[in-house]
Amino acid sequence: MKKILTAILTVTTCLFAAAQPNYFYPQAGKMNSAIPTPEQFLKYAIGSHHTRHDKLVEYFKELDKLSDRVTVQIVGETYEHRQQIAAIFTSATNHNKLEETRKAHLAGQLTGATANVPLVIQLGYNVHGNEPSSSEAALLTAYYLTASEDPETLKWLEEMVILMDPNINPDGRDRHSNWANMHKASPPVADPLDREHTEVWPGGRFNHYWFDMNRDWFLAVHQESKNRLQFFHHWRPYVQTDHHEMGSNSTFYFDPGKSSSNNPTVPDDLYNTIYPKFGLYFSQALNQIGSMYFTKEAFDKLYPGYGSSYINFYGGAGFLFEQASSRGHIQETSTIPLTFAFTIRNQFVSGLTTVRASLAEKAQLLKMRSAFYRSSAASAKASAVKAYIFGDANDETRTKAFVDLLLTHHIDVYDVENTVMYNGQRFEAAKTYVVPVDQPNYIMIRSVFEKGITYTDSLFYDASTWSLIHAYDLPYAELRTTVPRGKKISSVTQAASTVERSNYVYVFDLRDYNAHKAIYHLQSKGVIVQSAFRPFSTTIAGTAKTFGYGSIIISVQLQKISADSIFKVVSEAGKNSNIKIYSVGSGFNTSGIDLGSGYVRTLRMPEAMMLVGQGVAPTEAGEIWHLLDQRLGMPLTKMDITNFARADINRYNTIVMVSGSYTALDKTATDKLKLWLQNGGILITIKTAGEWAIKQGFTKEKLVVPDTTKSKTTLRFNYDDAVNIEGAKALGGSIFAVDLDTTHPIGFGTTNRKISIYKNGQTIFLPSANIYSTIAQYTNNPLIGGYLHASTLKKIKGNAAIVVGGEGNGKVIFFADNPNFRGTWYGTNKLFLNALFFGSHINVPVVAE
Ligand SMILES: [Zn+2]
């Protein structure tokens, strides 16, 4: 019986294997039979199963082993220890002089004098894990480039270096692949409501920490992105593809995109010449196989952090492909059922067409890049701003993170040898950096620093500004005259933190980004940590030193562990977090409170839980998980919302709720949360979770609600205008100024009252009825950068961005906006961390009538 079964299986596999080439590459010509097709290697037909990442890697390594046309490099590893690979396809001759080719290619970028150097392009697949057709297409493409003896393919390999990242998001892709495979039925079920097609929360789109990797090319928060960016800049290709999937009832999309959403800092030639030209190649290829498609009506190329746009900021052409998704092996649509194989074929064809078009349009691509650098040099020269100077002397961690990011994008950074003043701001020697604009990657510098780039469109697929200097909230100035640059730097090295042993007290300031990491380290090792709720000055080793609100005090005597153990743990905390911890010999301060003051509070260690699961925004939750995991080394319970009813929540002193519907919490669950709050719990809400808490009557704080008193409208518009008119009212993401109460525990460790926050939602609070409890208030002219509809401005200005509401002994800390946006908002991260570490110590002062 077993034997017969095997025989049948083999026959089926062979049938599939024979049918596959006809379906995917019917006009392929002669293929080298020594190279196994993906289906021969994997033992199933492409499109009949979702290929696991490890199998994909194995296949690429097999090609590398069998062929002198392929080299596979391991460029890194994901959080879940999956290998990130990059494959290089070129002729054997070119392989022998690969490094020489790379250098010649890079050397000719500015002049375009590389007509005789092989053209370097890159194909990138599957950035969103549950858009799986493209990695399967990568397997077919790799096979084709390795095995094809067709004269056209040989010419490609002779005249090009084709780089390939077959799977940009291995962790997310495997999450989805396993889901689709484990629910696959025989015969397959096309009903969209079958479990195969309805992945559970958070889905495979994201990486390990539930981040969207198709925003991270610019933000470079994750190791996968850092590895990929290093490889990108090592080669700096002329073309980069980015393959996606969209709704099952759609067709296929390729560039050109929406012309009104072109990035105004990128020369027009790309949009006006390259995209329309390549569009013709894509259309012809898809016409040939009968596939339907659309162009121009959607998808913007404004944001520099998409896989299809990042390269545009380096004079290359990024191409976006969007395929209707079968999300599973076959799914019903409004026409005929969509098969996985069909979706793979469109991706395969568009990838190969990119190779074909790139070589055919080589002269155009070379011209575009040299023109890009010429025009970028000219605008840098004409720029009124000659350089950007920045740095926070009180927060070397945050400053270093920003410099590291600039270096990742190959922006030249110089140190500053003398302390200087600009616009009333002091920039300290050795803790300040300068970025002159007269350098090749000027366009990227604009994206990082400029807040006021204006766009013609008012409909945004995503954010309308991304000025990173504001995300890091670093003191900076635009220099219009001579630049006091020192040495060009290749990295920021911080001096190792050494702590002197104290028999009395250890002290550190809260202004460094890593201060909370140090607090958690100390608390988790059993050290009693106190905080000064008022500033003080003291003398340390003969030098006067001022410590701001919230500074940390560790008394050697008021501890349950020995002075030796304290010294050991304090030294470790200093080393791990790279912050300066001081030894102090006297509690009698030169100004401000003394170290034993009544304003010194013993901090409670956060025992935190965050509700996750169906109905909760995965990226907001993931950002918090990533922050605590990667930057603090602090555990956080991620409790599935369905377990809330049966959980003993009294073991947590802090609960975090990010945006979500929370419909899974019924009245009993809500009452349970309310009781926990009344008994002293700290509830931190982000964005719409605050609206939920207010609707449940958790506090008396109020939301800004739309004005319903206006009389009925008599206006009338055309039906077709609704998309534009209503879409323009949305807040895709802009940067606003708030006035922060830096004397409030939520504002501790922040030097300036005016800080930048990122807002991409409509949650806004009225200032608290308690005059001490509006922690952050949007200023009257709050827009720093990005798009804003007039009606939204009216709602925002003067209202509250952060308020604290009391309920019994507990507090709700309401954040109208996401302080942890995409792991990049280092400035407002601190406010969230304060909520976590200081939430238990906030009073809502009683106001006398
Ligand atoms: Zn996508």
Closest Cα partner for 143 from 46, 278, 252?
A: 46
Ligand 1 centre to CA of 205 (Å) is 8
Q: Which residues of the chain have pLDDT under 50?
A: 1-18
How is residue 786 written in tokens? 């990005």
Sequence-separated (6 or more) residues with CB below 8 Å from residue 445: 388, 411, 435, 437, 439
> What's the one-letter identity of residue 459?
L
Ligand 1 centre to CA of 405 (Å) is 24
Centre a 10 Å sphere on the Cβ of residue 722 and count the other Cβ atoms it contains: 10
Ligand 1 centre to CA of 642 (Å) is 29
Ligand 1 centre to CA of 212 (Å) is 9
pLDDT value for 10: 38
pLDDT tens readout for residues 220-245: 999 999 999 999 999 999 999 999 99
Helix axes 362-382, 340-360, angle to 10 degrees: 70
Ligand 1 centre to CA of 307 (Å) is 10
Sequence-separated (6 or more) residues with CB below 8 Å from residue 504: 555, 556, 557, 583, 584, 585, 586, 587
CA distance 341 to 326: 9
**What pTM was estimated for this model as a whole?**
0.95
By the 8 A CB rule, do 403 and 338 touch? no
Ligand 1 centre to CA of 247 (Å) is 10
Ligand 1 centre to CA of 210 (Å) is 14
How is residue 142 written in tokens? 């790799």
Ligand 1 centre to CA of 235 (Å) is 24
Ligand 1 centre to CA of 321 (Å) is 9
pLDDT value for 545: 96
Peptide bond into 166 cis (omega under 30): no
CA distance 755 to 751: 9
CA distance 102 to 117: 9
pLDDT value for 14: 39
DSSP letters for 185-238: -SS----TTSGGGSPPTT-SSS-TTS--TTSHHHH--SHHHHHHHHHHHHH--S
Ligand 1 centre to CA of 243 (Å) is 7
Ligand 1 centre to CA of 320 (Å) is 10
pLDDT value for 656: 98
Max CA distance (Å), the chain: 91
Ligand 1 centre to CA of 327 (Å) is 12
Ligand 1 centre to CA of 127 (Å) is 7
Distances (CA, A) of 766 to 151, 565, 742, 777, 839: 70, 48, 20, 9, 21
CA distance 244 to 344: 11
Ligand 1 centre to CA of 143 (Å) is 24
pLDDT value for 15: 40
Ligand 1 centre to CA of 822 (Å) is 17
Ligand 1 centre to CA of 131 (Å) is 6
Ligand 1 centre to CA of 264 (Å) is 24
Residue 793 DSSP one-character state: H
> What's the one-letter identity of residue 390?
F
Ligand 1 centre to CA of 126 (Å) is 8
CA distance 304 to 312: 8
Distances (CA, A) of 685 to 64, 817, 827: 51, 10, 18
How is residue 246 written in tokens? 């969209």
Ligand 1 centre to CA of 820 (Å) is 22
Strand ranges, E, within 391-526:
414-415, 420-422, 425-427, 433-436, 476-479, 505-508
